[in-house]
């Protein structure tokens, strides 16, 4: 199975549970599990090759000039993490089916889960750091949806916002670090970056790149001081918590540090930043976990502690420590997912997670107690379970770590953290399941059905098997992953007994100390409660509140709703920057003599200046100002034509006609005069700024036109390759649909969004009191005269087919002569708009069958599908193809895929214009509410007092 398909399956499958939920909860869960299982099978098919030391790759040059390639590769590290994501994800899907209640929207939950799963799989398979960054941010967004899944809970909403704020901010920092890394190497492909350790570490940009990347990793993996968001994410449903804390989200930061380990580790900066952060997080998380009474809070802070342990091992920078880190990633995923699901079972059965209300559950829930005991003992590092093996390896590596010349500091703190780890693990067993049976449970608990206990049981079996037979079960995958991390062959031979080593003595000390600490938990709790300590959440809330208040005050001062003020600030800033560039730069002598000026350009220039000045002078009269704007646009169109730019001239005049008509319709609902608001002083200031800006722009244009460019113009390339590369003689059109087709594709999407926003705004207004005022206004009936002149009705009916033929002609000639889809779309829109103007909105609406939203969507879809067609030929998105055909009895003619892309542009433009027209016209007409429209006033009622009345 292709890596592309493995990465895409969760995203594609996210549609099914949302649809199949109507068929029942089992159908939604089954579809989600099937998608995950299929991706897991595809991954397993590549496992033999990866375990042999091979790397599976899939490459697609998406935007190669930007370094954005959709490249995936699968090595040992990717296989380990992808296996955890999909394997544990499959168990979480089964567990969630029986955990969520009937009131929970299960289809929505599974859709969110698959989106999150797909983002995580994309991270671990990406071979391009830009692609990895895309998936990285998707994990923040999709986890936000999962953590805030229970929207009715304030703590759920707050936890989701906190997680998004912290991890999203870290992601922004990481973007900067990754871009620096790509700049150092000259490539954004991970496979290339990982081969340039010496180049990266010798660069003066190594330190800032490392710090920024580590900020992203630390925030994602909840390392100190960013650890506080993870416990607050426990407000999510338990299946989400189990998935986040074991195989996904927080493991993304660890994956990133492991993936970048070959090129970033081995320096003092790496050691002190990573190892110190991990050590502090390990100890702090373990200490806090011991004093938490909420089961999920205890497990959440234990996750923080174990993430710190793994980070510390990666920070040591040795191959043996990296092997231990990889091994503990596996072990932690198994016992932590099992424990979170176990906590969910207790909560589900007893209706509480408060340890103070629990105890003695072994009598009522023996199966749950057995599962919890095995997983918790593994978390404590008790043999013969898998957690003991990796904990002992950690302690062994800690004995070799020397921090600031002190050889005992790291081992001592490691034992201290392990001691608290033993204490909170034993507390989970003793205070929840041991002791006498109580009689004041919120609900009498009992063991659940297989749907809830079987998924954690699978993981508990792995905990035991890995502990007893590590070389059979864990060694192949851990070795392959560690080889990928270190970039060299590693030795991995775990065992329950290595003799009487310092690590064994440290482990025994941690177990005995943890047991004693648990015995004195009540006294320790009193000391803990009396200790003054900062509250991370309170600090975060204070920082967010201060930042919000500061930004609000700044925004209120800067953004007061005055367009004139915004324009003045923008122009002044632009002028200042421009003056600085002019004063500090060098301007060479003129190399081009001005061309002789004839009478026609001078006359056009005078008319242009006169019309623009008239707009300023008479802007309070809105109708007159609109006419003058139309005159200005007409003169600009003539200027384009005079300067041999017929495409621009056609586009300009078409845009002018459409916008003037739409603005006339909009002005129909507005006062005729703009109120006078500016004082003489402000007007004088605005005049001064505009004059200076105009003179500056004019001077810049003159300077450019009278000097040669140092570098050759890009136009030479376009002229030379327009026909050869794009198959067209009209260079402008070939640029739009080929050379810069991606820009055009984005522009039609923006155009469609703008039209939909207009529709949405008018839809909101139609349900407000504003519409009633619009319906009862009195238009300028004496000036309007007959609303539907017979001559105009007849003329537009005759012109309609002619205009559409002209639009078709302009469309088909566009690749070789002036024209194209954009202009043709505007011409067709004008033809339809004229029908609305002549015969009325209701008459025209009754006779059109296609929804304008659908026309926009079809246009964007046609353009997208045309662009994706290039992928099947191994070419980048939107690469056009062309050829010539010679049918019998006909002349040879050209066929180009650009014509299909242009068809998408045509449809998007046509739909956007007509949707905007329909939206504005609906202010005065809606079926069943108002029978008349400004365009629909009865032509027989030509009296001067007719008004628009709502029915």
Angstrom distance (rounded) from CA 343 to CA 236: 13
**pLDDT, tens only, 463-513:** 999 999 988 888 899 999 999 998 888 888 888 887 788 888 898 999 999
Kindly tell me if the per-residue pLDDT of 770 is higher than 80: no
Angstrom distance (rounded) from CA 67 to CA 176: 15
The interaxial angle of helices 852-868 and 741-766, nearest 10 deg, is 160
Sole residue written with tokens 């794009």: 726
The strand pairing partners of 241, in sequence order, are: none
30 and 134 Cβ atoms separated by less than 8 Å: no
Tokens of 635: 């003169």
Burial of 784: CB neighbours in 10 Å, binned 0-12, 13-18, 19+: middle
293 and 357 Cβ atoms separated by less than 8 Å: no
Angstrom distance (rounded) from CA 88 to CA 36: 10
Give the model's pLDDT for residue 271. Answer: 93
Angstrom distance (rounded) from CA 456 to CA 450: 10
Sole residue written with tokens 């005991």: 373
Domain assignment present for residue 511? The answer is: no
Query: 773 pLDDT band (50/70/90 cuts)?
Result: low
Domain assignment present for residue 89? The answer is: no
H or E segment and range at residue 56: strand 56-58
- Mean pLDDT confidence for 861-870: 88
Torsion 570-573-576-581 (CA) sign:
negative
Backbone angles phi, psi at 338, to 5 degrees: -65, -40
Angstrom distance (rounded) from CA 81 to CA 7: 13
* Closest to 234 (Cα-Cα) out of 226, 225, 243: 243
Angstrom distance (rounded) from CA 761 to CA 916: 11
User: What is the secondary structure of 370-391 as a DSSP string?
Assistant: HHHHHHHHHHHT-TTSHHHHHH
The CA-atom distances, in angstroms, between 892 and each of 199, 459, 883 are 57, 69, 10
Q: How do the residues of the chain divide into helix, strand and coil, expressed in percent and rounded to 5?
A: 70, 5, 25
Helices (H), 52-153: 76-99, 106-125, 129-147
Domain assignment present for residue 499? The answer is: no
Give the model's pLDDT for residue 940. Answer: 37
Give the model's pLDDT for residue 561. Answer: 74
**pLDDT, tens only, 124-146:** 999 999 899 999 999 999 999 99
Burial of 934: CB neighbours in 10 Å, binned 0-12, 13-18, 19+: buried
Whole-prediction pTM value? 0.71
Tokens of 333: 């995923």
Secondary structure (H, E, C), 588-630: CCCCCCCCCCCHHHHHHHHHHHHHHHHHHHCCCEHHHHHHHHH
**pLDDT, tens only, 706-725:** 888 777 778 888 888 888 77
Domain assignment present for residue 918? The answer is: yes
Angstrom distance (rounded) from CA 409 to CA 416: 11
Kindly tell me if the per-residue pLDDT of 942 is higher than 60: no
Angstrom distance (rounded) from CA 811 to CA 803: 12
Domain count, the chain: 1
**pLDDT, tens only, 924-936:** 554 444 334 444 4
Give the model's pLDDT for residue 776. Answer: 63
82 and 136 Cβ atoms separated by less than 8 Å: no
Angstrom distance (rounded) from CA 323 to CA 389: 12
User: What is the secondary structure of 718-757 as a DSSP string?
Assistant: HHHHHHHHHS-S-HHHHIIIIITHHHHHHHHHHHHHHHHH
- Mean pLDDT confidence for 210-214: 94
74: which residues sit within 8 A by CB, 6+ positions away? 3, 43, 46, 50, 55, 56, 57, 82, 125
Give the model's pLDDT for residue 94. Answer: 93
Give the model's pLDDT for residue 494. Answer: 85
Give the model's pLDDT for residue 772. Answer: 64
Radius of gyration of the chain (CA): 35
Angstrom distance (rounded) from CA 68 to CA 520: 57
Angstrom distance (rounded) from CA 931 to CA 934: 10
Give the model's pLDDT for residue 444. Answer: 85
Kindly tell me if the per-residue pLDDT of 421 is higher than 50: yes
Is beta strand 893-896 parallel, antiparallel or unpaired with respect to 56-58? unpaired
DSSP letter (8 states) at residue 83? H
Tokens of 460: 């508990």
Domain assignment present for residue 946? The answer is: yes
Torsion 177-182-188-193 (CA) sign:
negative
Tokens of 861: 């879809």
Angstrom distance (rounded) from CA 567 to CA 578: 16
- Mean pLDDT confidence for 624-641: 89
H or E segment and range at residue 72: strand 72-74
Torsion 213-219-222-228 (CA) sign:
positive
- Mean pLDDT confidence for 413-438: 91
Verify cis geometry, omega within 30 degrees of 0, for the bond prior to 225: yes
- Over the chain, what is the mean pLDDT? 85
Q: Which range in 176-185, 654-663, 677-686, 730-739 is most confidently predicted, on average pLDDT? A: 176-185
Is beta strand 882-885 parallel, antiparallel or unpaired with respect to 72-74? unpaired
Query: 9 pLDDT band (50/70/90 cuts)?
Result: very high
Give the model's pLDDT for residue 600. Answer: 86
DSSP letter (8 states) at residue 340? H
Top pLDDT among 789 and 111 is at 111
600 and 590 Cβ atoms separated by less than 8 Å: no
Sole residue written with tokens 């026909």: 723
**pLDDT, tens only, 26-48:** 999 999 999 999 999 999 999 99
H or E segment and range at residue 894: strand 893-896
For residue 819, the SS3 value is coil
Burial of 889: CB neighbours in 10 Å, binned 0-12, 13-18, 19+: exposed
Query: 233 pLDDT band (50/70/90 cuts)?
Result: confident
Between 199-203, 350-354, 772-776, the lowest mean confidence (pLDDT) is in 772-776
Kindly tell me if the per-residue pLDDT of 554 is higher than 90: no
* Closest to 234 (Cα-Cα) out of 334, 306, 156: 156
Is beta strand 72-74 parallel, antiparallel or unpaired with respect to 893-896? unpaired
For residue 767, the enclosing domain spans 721-951
Is beta strand 882-885 parallel, antiparallel or unpaired with respect to 893-896? antiparallel
* Closest to 342 (Cα-Cα) out of 248, 437, 445: 445
For residue 650, the SS3 value is helix
Domain assignment present for residue 675? The answer is: no
Domain assignment present for residue 131? The answer is: no
Domain assignment present for residue 201? The answer is: no
249 and 236 Cβ atoms separated by less than 8 Å: no
**pLDDT, tens only, 387-417:** 899 999 999 999 988 888 888 999 999 999 9
Give the model's pLDDT for residue 941. Answer: 36
13 and 86 Cβ atoms separated by less than 8 Å: no
Query: 1 pLDDT band (50/70/90 cuts)?
Result: confident
Is beta strand 72-74 parallel, antiparallel or unpaired with respect to 56-58? antiparallel
For residue 63, the SS3 value is strand
Q: Which pairs with CB-CB distance under 8 Å and at least 24 residues apart come from 789-796?
A: 789/838, 792/837, 792/838, 793/838, 793/839, 795/838, 796/834, 796/835, 796/837, 796/838, 796/839
**pLDDT, tens only, 815-861:** 888 888 888 988 988 888 888 878 877 777 777 777 888 899 999 99
For residue 554, the SS3 value is helix
**pLDDT, tens only, 489-498:** 888 888 888 7
Sole residue written with tokens 């770590």: 401
Tell me how crowded residue 623 is: count the other CB atoms within 10 A of its CB. 17
Helices (H), 203-294: 206-220, 229-232, 238-246, 250-264, 268-270, 276-290
Percent of the chain with pLDDT over 90: 33
Between 76-90, 317-331, 705-719, 810-824, the lowest mean confidence (pLDDT) is in 705-719
- Mean pLDDT confidence for 874-880: 79
* Closest to 129 (Cα-Cα) out of 200, 212, 72, 59: 72
- Mean pLDDT confidence for 614-629: 86
């Amino acid at each position: 199975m292709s890596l592309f398909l493995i990465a895409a399956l969760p995203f594609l499958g996210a549609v099914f549970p949302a649809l199949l939920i109507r068929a029942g909860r089992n159908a939604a869960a089954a579809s989600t599990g099937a998608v995950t299982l299929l991706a897991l099978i595809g991954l397993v098919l590549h496992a033999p090759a990866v375990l042999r030391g091979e790397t599976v790759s899939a490459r697609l040059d998406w935007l190669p000039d930007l370094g954005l390639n959709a490249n995936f590769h699968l090595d040992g590290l990717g296989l380990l993490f992808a296996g955890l994501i999909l394997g544990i994800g499959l168990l979480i899907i089964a567990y969630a089916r029986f955990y969520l209640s009937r009131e929970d929207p299960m289809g929505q939950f599974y859709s969110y889960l698959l989106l999150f799963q797909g983002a995580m799989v994309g991270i671990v398979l990406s071979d391009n750091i830009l692609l990895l960054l895309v998936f990285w941010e998707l994990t923040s967004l999709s986890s936000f949806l999962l953590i805030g899944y229970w929207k009715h809970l304030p703590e759920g909403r707050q936890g989701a916002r906190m997680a998004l704020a912290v991890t999203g901010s870290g992601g922004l920092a990481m973007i900067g670090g990754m871009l620096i890394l790509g700049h150092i190497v000259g490539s954004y492909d991970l496979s290339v970056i990982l081969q340039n350790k010496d180049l990266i570490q010798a660069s003066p940009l190594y330190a800032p790149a490392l710090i920024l990347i580590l900020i992203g990793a630390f925030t994602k993996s909840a390392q100190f001081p960013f650890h506080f968001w993870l416990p607050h994410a426990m407000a999510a449903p338990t299946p989400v918590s189990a998935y986040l804390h074991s195989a996904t989200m927080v493991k993304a930061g660890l994956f990133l540090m492991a993936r970048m380990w070959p090129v970033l580790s081995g320096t003092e900066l790496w050691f002190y930043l990573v190892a110190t952060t991990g050590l502090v997080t390990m100890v702090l998380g373990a200490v806090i976990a011991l004093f938490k009474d909420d089961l999920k809070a205890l497990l959440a802070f234990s996750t923080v502690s174990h993430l710190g342990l793994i980070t510390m091992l990666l920070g040591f920078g040795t191959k043996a420590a990296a092997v231990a880190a990889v091994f503990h990633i596996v072990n932690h995923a198994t016992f932590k997912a099992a424990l979170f699901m176990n906590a969910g079972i207790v909560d589900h059965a007893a209706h509480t997670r408060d340890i103070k209300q629990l105890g003695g559950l072994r009598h009522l829930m023996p199966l749950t107690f057995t599962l919890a005991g095995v997983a918790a003992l593994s978390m404590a590092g008790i043999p013969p379970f898998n957690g003991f093996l990796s904990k002992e390896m950690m302690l062994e590596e800690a004995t070799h770590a020397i921090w600031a010349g002190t050889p005992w500091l790291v081992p001592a703190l490691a034992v201290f953290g392990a001691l608290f780890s033993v204490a909170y693990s034993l507390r989970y067993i003793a205070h929840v399941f041991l002791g006498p049976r109580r009689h004041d449970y919120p609900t009498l608990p009992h063991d659940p059905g297989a749907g809830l206990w079987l998924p954690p049981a699978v993981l508990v079996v792995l905990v035991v098997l890995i502990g007893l037979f590590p070389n059979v079960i864990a060694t192949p995958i851990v070795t392959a992953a560690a080889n990928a991390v270190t970039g060299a062959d590693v030795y991995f031979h775990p065992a329950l007994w290595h003799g009487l080593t310092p690590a064994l003595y440290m482990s025994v000390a941690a177990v005995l100390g943890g047991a004693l600490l648990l015995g004195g938990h009540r006294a320790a709790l009193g000391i803990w409660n009396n200790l003054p300590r900062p509250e991370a959440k309170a600090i975060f809330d204070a920082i967010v509140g201060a930042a919000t208040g500061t930004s609000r005050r700044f925004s209120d001062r800067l953004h007061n709703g005055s367009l004139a003020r915004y324009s003045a600030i923008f122009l002044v800033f632009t002028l200042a920057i421009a003056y600085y560039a002019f004063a500090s730069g060098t301007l060479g002598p003129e190399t081009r003599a001005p061309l002789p000026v004839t009478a026609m350009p001078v006359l056009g220039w005078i008319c242009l200046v006169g019309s623009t000045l008239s707009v300023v002078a008479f802007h309070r009269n809105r109708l007159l100002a609109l006419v003058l704007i139309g005159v200005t646009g007409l003169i600009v169109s003539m200027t384009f034509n005079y300067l041999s730019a017929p495409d621009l001239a056609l586009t300009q005049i078409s845009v002018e006609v459409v916008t003037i008509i739409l603005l006339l319709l909009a002005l129909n609902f507005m006062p005729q005069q703009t109120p006078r608001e500016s004082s003489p002083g402000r007007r004088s200031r605005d005049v001064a700024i505009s004059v200076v800006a105009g003179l500056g722009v004019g001077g810049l244009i003159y300077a450019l036109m009278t000097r040669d460019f140092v570098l050759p113009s890009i136009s030479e390339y376009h002229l030379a390759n327009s026909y050869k590369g794009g198959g067209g003689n009209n260079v402008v059109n070939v640029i739009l649909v080929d050379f810069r087709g991606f820009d055009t594709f984005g522009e039609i999407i923006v155009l469609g969004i703008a039209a939909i926003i207009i529709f949405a705004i008018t839809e909101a207004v139609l349900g407000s009191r504003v519409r009633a005022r619009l319906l009862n206004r009195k238009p300028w009936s004496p000036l309007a005269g007959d609303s539907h002149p017979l001559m105009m009705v007849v003329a537009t009916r005759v012109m309609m087919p002619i205009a559409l033929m002209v639009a078709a002609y302009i469309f088909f000639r566009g690749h070789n002569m002036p024209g194209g889809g954009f202009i043709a779309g505007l011409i067709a829109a004008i033809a339809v708009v004229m029908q609305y103007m002549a015969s009325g909105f209701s008459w025209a609406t009754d006779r059109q069958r296609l929804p304008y939203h659908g026309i926009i969507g079809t246009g964007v879809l046609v353009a997208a599908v045309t662009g994706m067609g290039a992928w099947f030929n191994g070419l980048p998105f939107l690469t056009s193809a062309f050829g010539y055909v010679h049918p019998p009895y006909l002349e040879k003619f050209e066929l180009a895929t650009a014509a299909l892309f242009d068809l998408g542009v045509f449809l998007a433009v046509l739909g956007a214009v007509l949707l905007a027209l329909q939206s504005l016209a609906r202010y005065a007409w809606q079926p069943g509410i108002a029978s008349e429209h400004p365009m629909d006033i009865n032509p027989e009622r030509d009296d001067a007092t007719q008004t628009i009345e709502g029915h």
